[in-house]
């Protein structure tokens, strides 16, 4: 996919970089695999605001993605590559030999009329899904399950990929895009290859309206608020607030550990690499 650069006919699009959409072969989704999205506006079931700066945006339909890939030993042919407004990657519409249709994340290198397969003792080809125990070390994968049969949870964003490092007993060492090395059970499934649309990180909206189209509203700095609106509000001039940075509800926002201590972290072999170290080239 190529990145599209717009002519500077206005200040709003002078620095805008958008998608080229050359790989898209179908503009309308399959009606039987879509459903409406109910938007909350950042409010919970009591009507209380729990997530700020949400609202507006273009109306969307949710595409039901098959993250389980349970149709084993049945070939699926790629009918079309489509755009999904709910995720950064493209999606591929599959038509199986028995006539059933489904959506999957489109991996890099899989095009129209390509064939994919899932199950045991199948080739190591792009788009094929199998257990981690059947994938040789060094292979790049995406769409990884955390629990057997629960559907893929890891490595689903555009351009991401993980690597199978080694196998130890009933577990497999997986290196995630963040740099974290994690133990995952060998019966969990993963898909071969890299997620497509890898140029997504080069997209630039160019104007504030691009964020509003996505449903992101403007954010006010807490220090600019009144004391009644935020713990850091008020004061004469640009004050520091007199306390540690916190959220609207008083929860510390820097350095507070929120991981549940009752959950076992022994499956993490190596922690992720912080972004500040990546920028300095120390990792």
Q: What is the CATH number of the domain that holds 92?
A: 2.40.50.140
Which residue did the predictor score with more confidence, 261 or 46?
46
If one counts every other C-beta atom within 10 angstroms of the C-beta of residue 196, the result is 26
Longest dimension (CA), the chain: 71
202 has pLDDT over 70:
yes
Contact 155, 145 (CB under 8 A): no
Domain of residue 99, residue span: 22-200+261-280
In whole angstroms, what is the distance from residue 282 CA to residue 279 CA? 8
In tens, the pLDDT along 99-152 reads: 999 999 999 999 999 999 999 989 999 999 999 999 999 999 999 999 999 999
Burial 167-181 (b: 16+ CB within 10 A, else e): eeeebbbbbbbbeeb
Return the pLDDT at 241: 78
Q: What is the mean pLDDT of residues 261-280?
A: 78
CB 61 within 8 A of CB 38: no
Mean of the pLDDT values across residues 217-240?
92
Neighbour tally for 193: CB within 10 Å: 23
pLDDT, tens digit, for every residue of 143-199?
999 999 999 999 999 999 999 999 999 999 999 999 999 999 999 999 999 999 999
Q: What pLDDT is recorded for position 282?
A: 65
Inform me whether the pLDDT recorded for 40 exceeds 80. Answer: yes
Neighbours of 119 (CB within 10 A): 17
The average confidence (pLDDT) of the chain is 92
Phi and psi at 266, nearest 5°, equal -70, -15
For 257-281, what is the mean pLDDT?
A: 78
Q: Is 175 helix (H, G, I), strand (E, B) or coil?
A: strand
Q: Domain for residue 91, yes or no?
A: yes
Enumerate the β-bridge partners of residue 260.
none
pLDDT band at 35 (very low <50, low <70, confident <90, very high): very high
- For residues 193 and 161, the answer to whether their CB atoms sit within 8 Å is yes
pLDDT of residue 28: 94
- The whole-number pLDDT of residue 1 equals 58
Number of domains in the chain: 1
Phi, psi of 202 (to 5 degrees): -90, 5
Determine the average pLDDT of the residues in 224-251.
90
What does the pLDDT read at residue 234?
A: 92
Q: How confident is the model at residue 240 (pLDDT cuts 50, 70, 90)?
A: confident
| Rounded CA separation 246/231 (Å) | 8
- β-pairing, 61-63 vs 34-36, is antiparallel
Nearest to 234 by CA among 251, 222, 220: 222
Rounded to whole angstroms, how far apart are CA atoms 198 and 88? 9
In the block, tokens 């007993």 appear at: 169
pLDDT at residue 283 above 70?
Answer: no
Taking Cα atoms as reference points, which of 142, 139, 223, 247 lies closest to residue 189? 142
């Amino acid at each position: 996919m190529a990145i599209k650069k717009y002519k500077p006919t206005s200040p709003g699009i002078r620095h805008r970089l958008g998608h080229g959409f050359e790989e898209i072969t179908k503009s309308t989704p399959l009606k039987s695999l879509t459903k409406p999205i109910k938007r909350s506006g950042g409010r919970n079931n009591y009507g209380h605001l729990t997530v700020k700066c949400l609202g507006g945006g273009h109306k969307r339909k949710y595409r039901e993605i098959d993250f389980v890939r349970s149709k084993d030993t049945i070939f699926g042919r790629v009918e079309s590559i489509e755009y999904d407004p709910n995720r950064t990657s493209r999606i591929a519409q599959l038509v199986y030999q028995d006539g059933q249709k489904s959506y999957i994340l489109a991996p890099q290198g899989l095009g129209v009329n390509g064939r994919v397969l899932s199950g045991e003792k199948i080739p190591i080809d792009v788009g094929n899904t199998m257990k981690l125990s059947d994938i040789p070390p060094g292979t790049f994968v995406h769409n990884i399950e955390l629990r057997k049969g629960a559907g893929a949870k890891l490595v689903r964003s555009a351009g991401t990929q993980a690597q199978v490092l080694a196998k130890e007993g009933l577990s497999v060492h997986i290196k995630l895009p963040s740099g974290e090395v994690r133990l995952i059970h060998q019966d969990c499934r993963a898909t071969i290859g890299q997620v497509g649309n890898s140029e997504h990180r080069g997209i630039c909206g160019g104007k504030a309206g691009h964020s509003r189209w996505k449903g992101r509203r403007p954010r006010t700095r807490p220090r600019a608020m009144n004391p009644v609106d935020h713990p850091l509000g008020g004061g004469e001039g640009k004050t520091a607030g007199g306390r540690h940075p916190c959220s609207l509800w008083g929860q510390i926002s820097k350095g507070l550990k929120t991981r549940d201590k009752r959950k076992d972290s022994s499956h993490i072999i190596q922690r992720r690499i912080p972004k500040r170290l990546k920028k300095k080239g120390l990792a």
